[in-house]
């Protein structure tokens, strides 16, 4: 993370949010306002991607209620990072900015990678794909993982149209890996995982009659 700003560079000011109204009617025309004041249709890929990040955050919050530390503490930190990503996405890259927007940092990606390596080391190597499920915490983590994957695809689509912070895509990619690893950890360190057996039921269907 940056500890200061070079002379002449835009000043970084952490965004403060004051919310005193639940509804504003500003989105009644089908558009929404970005952090820089620009207005986009609500179906714009930038808005769609931001919404998927928010959806993933909500499911991660649900999953956190059904896991114990250290997984819960990890998920709560991730939730804060996802708000950083939302703040990043809502302020497109612009030139000549007087205030530098909040941007996700590579150090946040590295922290995720460290957690993935740390928790994966305690799991047995996989010999097949895992069927999502198991404990409630594991099942919810798998749901969150799929939403994170969708958000990653949408952010990637945006990145092919406009410049975005590179760390954002990497973070979402590593986050889906982390959620997968934590889901396995919740299933007795993977011992309770149910594995995919390709074609296991192809020959069990009843033969047609008549």
Each domain of the chain, given as residue ranges in start order, spans 30-91+101-194
Query: What average pLDDT does the structure give for the chain?
Result: 83
Task: Kindly tell me if the per-residue pLDDT of 132 is higher than 50.
Answer: yes
CB count within 10 Å of CB 101 equals: 19
* Residue with more model confidence, 57 or 164: 57
pLDDT score of 2: 40
Distance CA 11, CA 89 (A): 19
Concatenate the DSSP letters of all residues of 144-177 into one string.
Answer: HHHHHHHHHHHHHHHHTTS---HHHHHHHHHHHH
pLDDT at 169 over 70: yes
pTM: 0.80
Cis peptide bond prior to 70, omega within 30° of 0: yes
Q: What's the burial of 137, exposed, middle or buried (CB within 10 Å: 0-12/13-18/19+)?
A: buried
N- to C-terminal Cα separation, the chain:
72
pLDDT at 7 over 70: no
Dihedral of CA 46/48/52/54: which sign? positive
Q: Which pLDDT belongs to residue 93?
A: 73
1 pLDDT tier (thresholds 50, 70, 90): very low
Instruction: Please give the CATH topology (third level) of the domain spanning 30-91+101-194.
Output: Hypothetical Protein Ta1238; Chain: A; (1.20.1200)
Cβ-based neighbour number of residue 132 at 10 Å = 17
pLDDT at 124 over 90: no
Mean pLDDT of 54-65: 96
Side-chain-side CA neighbours of 101 within 13 Å: the count stands at 22
Q: Residue 25's pLDDT is what?
A: 54
């Amino acid at each position: 993370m940056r500890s200061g700003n070079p002379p002449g560079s835009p000043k970084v000011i952490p965004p403060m949010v004051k919310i005193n109204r639940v509804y504003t009617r500003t989105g009644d025309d089908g558009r929404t306002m970005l952090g820089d004041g620009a207005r986009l249709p609500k179906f714009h890929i930038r808005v769609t991607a931001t919404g998927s990040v928010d959806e993933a955050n909500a499911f991660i919050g649900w999953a956190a209620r059904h896991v114990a530390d250290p997984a819960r503490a990890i998920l709560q930190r991730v939730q804060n990072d996802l708000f950083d990503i939302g703040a990043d996405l809502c302020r497109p890259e612009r030139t000549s900015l007087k205030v530098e927007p909040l941007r996700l940092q590579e150090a946040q990606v590295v922290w995720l990678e460290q957690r993935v390596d740390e928790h994966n080391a305690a799991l047995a190597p996989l010999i097949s794909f895992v069927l999502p499920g198991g404990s409630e915490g594991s099942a919810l983590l798998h749901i969150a993982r799929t939403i994170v994957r969708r958000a990653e695809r949408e952010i990637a689509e945006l990145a092919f149209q406009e410049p975005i912070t590179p760390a954002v895509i990497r973070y979402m990619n590593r986050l889906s890996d982390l959620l997968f690893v934590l889901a396995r950890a919740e299933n007795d360190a993977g011992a309770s995982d149910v594995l995919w057996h390709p074609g296991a039921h192809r020959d069990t269907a009843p033969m047609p009659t008549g």
